[in-house]
Amino acid sequence: MLAQQRQSRIAERVHRTGAVRVAELVEEFGVSDMTIRRDLETLAERGLVAKVHGGATAVDFGSTSEPGFAVKQVRQEAEKEAIAEAAAGLVGPGQAIALSAGTTTWTLAHRLTDVADLTVVTNSVPVADVFYRSGRSDQTVILTGGVRTPSDALVGPFAVASLERVNVDTVFLGVHGMSARAGFTTPNLLEAETVATLAEKGRRLVVVADHTKFDVVGIATIAALSDADVIVTDARLDEEARRILSEHVDQVVLAPTPVVAPPAPQSRGSSAPASR
């Protein structure tokens, strides 16, 4: 198969599924890891895909663009893991917490399955599933109803009505973007009211968002920066962004992100698939 044909098929698959991984494409096309990475680089230069660590995702367009859960799940994975580890330290046994929808809060949920006597309120189907699969009898999960969004959030009047009766110790909020002008934002108008209601239901509001969310603005504002008590982000956030966030929020936690080693170079001319 010619490189152009292979790249066309890769672009079509990303458009259809929202995301691909390098390892999957190596197996599918029977070429080397480096060949697939060059293909993705070419497609990214043409604006057809967005490169992420370990693969590629569909390109976002504008303040109303909302990628699906699978697309966001493969973005900034190392940063999300670091943020989740830092945020998990804010949760103790016997607490009641709320987790909004999102892949960062979903990553955090995995870190909380061992916390005893935890009560979790969420509007996220994937987050609820994490706790369901852990099988702990001493944890209580309250899943709101509502209309399901592309990011697997449950939103709308039913979700809002459910949340209005809830009070928790800490709310962990994942966001689409954060900026000094627009605050914390979402690309989904229907989701904004639901998440804004959730944000007000805790004694403490913790926003979990990686560095790429800074200066990104969705169409609807959830809350002002000053509404957050804590922001947990990663150490790749630049100095100017740190300064701006620190002016509005009492505590900004910078989670250290491990350095990911680049893939080992293969011998020139090799076309065999990389070992898995």
- pLDDT digit string (tens) for 85-106? 999 999 999 999 999 999 999 9
Is 265 a residue whose pLDDT tops 90? no
The pTM (predicted TM-score) of the whole model is: 0.72
Strand 147-148 relative to strand 140-143: parallel, antiparallel, unpaired?
A: unpaired
Determine the average pLDDT of the residues in 20-45.
91
Determine the average pLDDT of the residues in 154-182.
95
Could you give the 3-state DSSP secondary structure of residue 159? Answer: helix
Inter-residue contact 53 to 260 (CB < 8 Å): yes
Q: Would you state the torsion angle of the CA atoms of residues 166, 172, 177, 183, taken in this order, to the nearest 10 degrees?
A: 60
What is the pLDDT, as a whole number, of residue 65?
52
pLDDT tens, position by position, 135-167: 899 999 999 999 998 778 999 999 999 999 999
The tokens for 231 are 């922001």
Is 271 a residue whose pLDDT tops 70? no
Pick the CATH number of 3-59 from 1.10.10.10, 1.10.490.10, 3.40.50.620, 3.40.190.10: 1.10.10.10
* Sequence ranges of the domains in the chain: 3-59, 72-255
The tokens for 8 are 């066309």
The domain 72-255 having CATH identifier 3.40.50.10470: the answer here is yes
Is 195 a residue whose pLDDT tops 60? yes
- Lookup result for tokens 């962990």: 172
Is 254 a residue whose pLDDT tops 60? yes
d(CA 171, CA 23): 36
What is the pLDDT, as a whole number, of residue 63?
47
Q: Given pLDDT bands bounded at 50, 70 and 90, which one contains residue 54?
A: confident
Is 274 a residue whose pLDDT tops 60? no
The lowest-confidence range among 12-16, 205-209, 265-269 is: 265-269
d(CA 33, CA 149): 34
* Radius of gyration (C-alpha) of the chain in whole angstroms: 20
Give me the helix-helix angle, 77-88 and 103-111, nearest 10°: 50
| First vs last C-alpha separation in the chain | 22
Q: Given pLDDT bands bounded at 50, 70 and 90, which one contains residue 11?
A: confident
What is the pLDDT, as a whole number, of residue 168?
98
Q: Given pLDDT bands bounded at 50, 70 and 90, which one contains residue 185?
A: very high
What is the pLDDT, as a whole number, of residue 272?
42
The tokens for 225 are 């920066």
The tokens for 130 are 């994490």
DSSP-assigned letters across all residues of 4-55: HHHHHHHHHHHHHHSEEEHHHHHHHHT--HHHHHHHHHHHHHTTSSEEETTE
Q: Given pLDDT bands bounded at 50, 70 and 90, which one contains residue 257?
A: confident
- Lookup result for tokens 């060059």: 38
